[in-house]
Amino acid sequence: MTKKISMKVSGMTCMGCEEHVAVALENIGAKNVEASFRHGEVLFELPDDIGIESAKKAIDEAKYQPGEIEEISSQENVVLGNEGDYDLLIIGSGGSAFSAAIKAVEKGAKVAMVERGTIGGTCVNIGCVPSKTMLRAGEINHLAGKNPFGGLNTKAESVDMATLTENKDKLVEGMRQQKYVDLIDEYGIDLIRGEASFIDENTVEVNGQKYIANKFLISTGASPSIPNISGLKEVNFLTSTTALELKEVPKKLAVIGSGYIAMELGQLFHNLGSEVSLMQRSERLLKEYDPEISEAVDEALTKQGLNFITGVTYKKVEQNGNMKKVYIEVNGEERVIEADQLLVATGRRPNTGSLNLKAAGVEIGKRGEVVVNDYLQTSNPNIYAAGDVTLGPQFVYVAAYEGGIVVENALGAANKKVDLRFVPGVTFTNPSIATVGLTEQQAKDQGNDVKTSVLPLNSVPRALVNRETNGVFKLVVDNQTKKIVGAHVVAENAGEVIYGATLAVQFGLTADDLRNTMAPYLTMSEGLKLAALTLDKDVSKLSCCAG
């Protein structure tokens, strides 16, 4: 038999330190060692005939300082009970739900999934997949009508929106079937159709049938949030879901909101031929980003023809026939924005209203989100939550990661904390916006002494040959350690570039590490190396490829 141990360890500063600690413990017979210098902790299994003092001595001899020790569990990896119908019952069927379900089945658990609507959740059905394929269509149409190369005589004809929407739906149906529906039978997951509502702490009811489980995962996602503007509820407005169902391109589109959903859909319809106005309460576009990033986005999209109206106070909304009118005030001046379609894109609200969480002893926050701790556990220790319903970073890859963490903690002997410090985010406009790590302001707010590099896109050779130079690269570097703590990009294919930056930020690479790499010439990712060089050089004075 073995005992699972969590030990705090001081002195680890890098991945090499993690390896030193792991080797020291393995040399005394420890198994499944997981060391984390970021958390200052090591998890390992120790045979019963080896004492804790031996582990402490091994750490000490490796020149690290052992600290607080906790014995997590002496059970086998999967803890399965007999009281419930299921070991794990999952409410919802999106990214976190399927990630958790597959991992739980692989551990030998009996799993059920409850779904009241379409299987697959937001991303495949009404989010990432449909919006990005339509964005690509809009981009091609825009370039056909207005490309940056002299000598190319291309033009854009009128758009057959109904066919575009039909083809989008076929793509969604195929991916939903292959990536979600087919996996239910393949993994032996019990699918329960209907709406789940908690009766007590370990029981839900679906269509009058009661189901008991040892552990639960709430994975119900989020829906468009509708602001409280006078008259809005009496108007036929679009949301991010219904906008992608249109069969005709609107002549004029007004958008309430200018976050990533508003900008993506606003640019989509602009590229398909709409006249688009985006309105927001804030004075600055993308106010949570550093100023250089928001200014680059504002300049690029405004140059393309999108109309941004900032500092807006909404007065009321009316509809006359098919025409919608948004009455606003800007700098004390009253204005009326008219459009044949109105899109409301002002954030998302968690889908918790029908779950009767009070009966299960599950706490919710001010915005209706399920409140979780670092282990994704709710106020009821047998109920977990993951994905958009917690109002964390709303990306499918975050939801999938969290689903895996839930299974390790709920069905195993693990005690894993969720770590969302290095989540990359991408807005799929063109130029796209990608970011990872800390902004300059966030770093300063945390008390860090930082240096920044701001590289205009016209200093990146790939952008020059593309003849698309609206954008910027920005790196945030810790002055003491020289490590890159944040990277932010506005450029074509910024989403492809940010993965390399994510590795740099997450694994503590320095500016010198970037300078000393070979970046392929005439790639957009070369901008990361050039931005690192810009910390102490004028890249405009360098030859191509010359670092």
Kindly indicate the confidence band of residue 543, based on its pLDDT and cuts at 50, 70 and 90: low
Q: Where a domain ends, among 346, 375, 390?
A: 346
Closest C-alpha to 353, from 334, 369, 371: 369
One-letter identity of residue 108: G
Kindly indicate the confidence band of residue 221, based on its pLDDT and cuts at 50, 70 and 90: very high
Residue 515 has pLDDT above 70, yes or no: yes
For residue 149, what pLDDT is reported?
Answer: 95
Q: How many domains does one find in the chain?
A: 4
For residue 82, what pLDDT is reported?
Answer: 46
440 and 495, same domain (yes or no): yes
The region that residue 447 occupies, defined by phi over 0 for left and psi between -120 and 50 for alpha, beta otherwise, is left
Q: Are 44 and 63 in contact (CB under 8 A)?
A: no
434 and 402, same domain (yes or no): no
Residue 547 lies in a domain: no
One-letter identity of residue 48: D
519 and 395, same domain (yes or no): no
Q: Are 358 and 330 in contact (CB under 8 A)?
A: no
Residue 15 has pLDDT above 90, yes or no: no
CATH number at residue 69: 3.30.70.100
Q: Which of 78-87, 117-126, 357-366 has the lowest mean pLDDT?
A: 78-87
For residue 252, what pLDDT is reported?
Answer: 98
Phi, psi for residue 212 in degrees, rounded to 5: -105, 140
159 and 256, same domain (yes or no): no
User: What distance in Å separates the CA atoms of residue 29 and residue 142, rounded to the nearest whole number?
Assistant: 63
Residue 278 lies in a domain: yes
192 and 246, same domain (yes or no): no
CATH number at residue 212: 3.50.50.60
450 and 493, same domain (yes or no): yes
For residue 83, what pLDDT is reported?
Answer: 57
Residue 78 lies in a domain: no
107 and 207, same domain (yes or no): yes
Residue 332 DSSP one-character state: T
Residue 261 lies in a domain: yes
398 and 490, same domain (yes or no): no
Instruction: Tell me how many helices (H) and strands (E) the chain has.
Output: 16, 25
For residue 91, what pLDDT is reported?
Answer: 98
Selected residue with higher pLDDT from 82 and 16: 16
Each residue of 447-484: pLDDT tens digit? 999 999 999 999 999 999 999 999 999 999 999 999 99
Each residue of 307-323: pLDDT tens digit? 999 999 999 999 999 99
Q: What is the largest CA-CA distance in the chain?
A: 81
521 and 499, same domain (yes or no): yes
> If you write DSSP's letter for every residue of 398-464 in order, what string do you get?
HHHHHHHHHHHHHTBS--PPP--TT--EEE-SSSEEEEEE--HHHHHHTT--EEEEEEEGGGSHHHH
Residue 461 lies in a domain: yes
Residue 547 has pLDDT above 70, yes or no: no
Active site residue ranges: 12, 14, 17, 64, 123, 128, 544-545
For residue 544, what pLDDT is reported?
Answer: 64
Residue 38 has pLDDT above 80, yes or no: no
Q: Where a domain ends, among 382, 410, 438?
A: 410
Residue 17 has pLDDT above 90, yes or no: no
Residue 547 DSSP one-character state: -
Residue 420 lies in a domain: no
Kindly indicate the confidence band of residue 224, based on its pLDDT and cuts at 50, 70 and 90: very high
Residue 88 has pLDDT above 60, yes or no: yes
Determine the Cα angle at 132 with ends 179 and 163, to 5°. 95
User: What distance in Å separates the CA atoms of residue 224 and residue 346, rounded to the nearest whole number?
Assistant: 7
256 and 320, same domain (yes or no): yes
Residue 310 lies in a domain: yes
Q: Mean of the pLDDT values across residues 431-440?
A: 97
Residue 546 lies in a domain: no
**Percent over 70 (pLDDT), the chain:** 96
Q: Model-level pTM? A: 0.83
Q: Mean of the pLDDT values across residues 278-293?
A: 95
In terms of DSSP H, where are the helices of 192-337?
A: 240-243, 260-272, 291-304
Question: Distances from the Cα of 523 to the Cαs of 222, 416, 516, 542, in angstroms?
Answer: 37, 38, 17, 17
Residue 180 DSSP one-character state: I
Mean pLDDT of the chain: 93
Each residue of 359-392: pLDDT tens digit? 999 999 999 999 999 999 999 999 999 999 999 9
Residue 255 has pLDDT above 80, yes or no: yes
Which residues constitute the domain of residue 248?
Answer: 232-346
Q: Where a domain ends, among 73, 97, 115?
A: 73
Q: Which two tokens stand for residue 309?
A: 């109206």
Residue 20 has pLDDT above 90, yes or no: no
User: What distance in Å separates the CA atoms of residue 436 and residue 421, rounded to the nearest whole number?
Assistant: 9
For residue 78, what pLDDT is reported?
Answer: 42
> If you write DSSP's letter for every residue of 399-414 in order, what string do you get?
HHHHHHHHHHHHTBS-
341 and 358, same domain (yes or no): no
Kindly indicate the confidence band of residue 306, based on its pLDDT and cuts at 50, 70 and 90: very high
272 and 315, same domain (yes or no): yes
For residue 73, what pLDDT is reported?
Answer: 46
